[in-house]
Amino acid sequence: MKPRTLATLVVLGALALAAGWYFGIAQEPQAESTTDNGRLMFRELPAHLGDATQVELVHGANTVRIVRDAATQTWGLAQRDGYPVDVGKLRALLTGLTELRLVERRTADPAELGKLGLDDPAGKDASATLIRVTDAAGQPIAALVAGHSRMRTGGTLPDEIYVRRPDENQSWLAEGKLDVDSDPLTWLDRDIMDIAPARVASVGITSGTTLLKLVKNGDKLTMQTPADHPPLDDGHLDDVTHALELLSLQDVRKDANAPAGDALGTSVFTTDDGLAITATPSKADGDLWVRFAVAATDDKANVGAKAEAQGLTERLAGWTYQIGGWKLKALIPTLDDLKAPPPPAPPKSISTPAAPSPPAPAKP
C-alpha cells in the first residue's frame, strides 16, 4: 500500500470515529476519550476496610447511616437505634467499592454533570448519591459521588456507572455495580423469626377476659378452650399455625422509642420441641406493632430449642416490630375470626303459577 493511500485511510478512519462518537452520545454530555486502563478507583480500600466504622449514603433529603458497634462489632442502622442491617447488602456495597474500575474520563464541566446523574448529592432534586466510608476518627477511607448506571447487554460485560470524587468536577465512566439505595428501611435485616407450622403444638390467646386455647390434633390445630364453641374454619386455624413462619418486619424501634398504642392482648406459641414464644401486639396510628419474648420450657425443651431460645432472645429482646396488619388475626384472633362461615341458605323453591281460569261462557 502506498504511503499516501495509508495516510488517507487513517484520516478517513479518524473522521469516521469522531462522527460516530458525536452522533452516538447525543443524550450525554460531550466527554474526553482518554482512558485509564481499568485502574481501581480505591486501590488501598481492601487494606483499610477493617478500620471502617461508618458507611453513609446521602441523596437529597435522605440519609442512610450504617454504624459498627464497637462492643459487638455488628453493623446497625443509626436511624433505627442501631438495629442490625442486611449484612449481605452491606457486603455487596463494600465489595463494589473495592472492585470499581475507572475506564474513561468524561466531562469536567459542572454544568454538564447533572446529565450523568453527578449533580450535588445534597440538592433538593438530586440525581446523585454520595457514598462515604469513614474510620473511628471520622476520616474518609473511601468517598465518591455515584450517578447513573448503565446496563450492559452482553452476558459477560460488567455493569457501568458514572462517578466522580466529592471534591472534583472530573467525572468518570467506571466498570462496576453499586447499590446506592438511600431509603434507610431497605437496609434493615428484615427477618424476625421462622417457626415452621409443623412445630407448633399449641397456642394460648388472651384478650381482655377472653381466653382461647388451641392444641395440635394430628397435623391441625383444634380448639380446646372454650370447649363449647361454634364450628371453626380450617383455613383460619391454618393462618394461626403459620403466624410465625418467615415473619418479617416493616419497621422497628427500641422498646423505649416505639409508638405508644392500644394493647390487644397476648398470644403464646409453644412448639413440640419445647420453645415458648410470647407475642404482645398493639396498634398505634393504624399500624400493628409487636414485642416478642422467647423462652425454653423446662419440661420439654431439648438442647436445640434451648440454644434457639437464647439466640432469638438476644436478637429480639428490647425491640418492638411493625409487621403487616393482616397478621393480627393470625397472632391474636378472636373467636369470631376463627368461626366457619354460615352454610349457604337453601335455594328458594320456585312456585308454578296457576293456570288462568277459562273465560265464562257468553249468555244467550
pLDDT digits (tens, 9 = 90+) for 312-326: 999 999 999 999 999
Q: In this structure, is residue 316 part of a structural domain? A: yes
Same structural domain, 167 and 118: yes
Same domain, 134 and 281: no
- Assess whether 334 and 274 both reside in one domain: yes
Residue 17 lies in a domain: no
Q: What is the pLDDT of residues 16-54, one digit of tens each?
A: 333 333 223 334 444 444 445 679 999 999 999 999 999
Supply the range of the domain harboring residue 318. 191-338
Same domain for 91 and 71: yes
Both 165 and 233 in one domain: the answer is: no
pLDDT at position 299? 65
Q: Does residue 170 sit in the same domain as residue 199?
A: no
For 196, the 3-state DSSP assignment is: coil
The pLDDT value given to residue 350: 67
Number of domains in the chain: 2
Distance in angstroms between the alpha carbons of the first and the last residue of the chain: 131
Residue 314: per-residue pLDDT: 94
State the pLDDT at residue 13: 40
pLDDT along the chain (364 residues), means of 10: 40 36 36 61 93 96 94 94 96 96 95 95 92 95 94 76 96 93 94 96 93 94 94 94 97 94 93 94 94 85 84 96 95 93 76 66 64
Integer CA distances (angstroms), 156 to 137, 151, 152, 153, 162, in order: 40, 12, 9, 9, 20
Q: Are residues 171 and 235 in the same domain?
A: no
Does one domain contain both 171 and 208? no
d(CA 244, CA 268): 11
Cis peptide preceding 226, ω within 30 of 0: yes
Q: Is 288 helix (H, G, I), strand (E, B) or coil?
A: strand
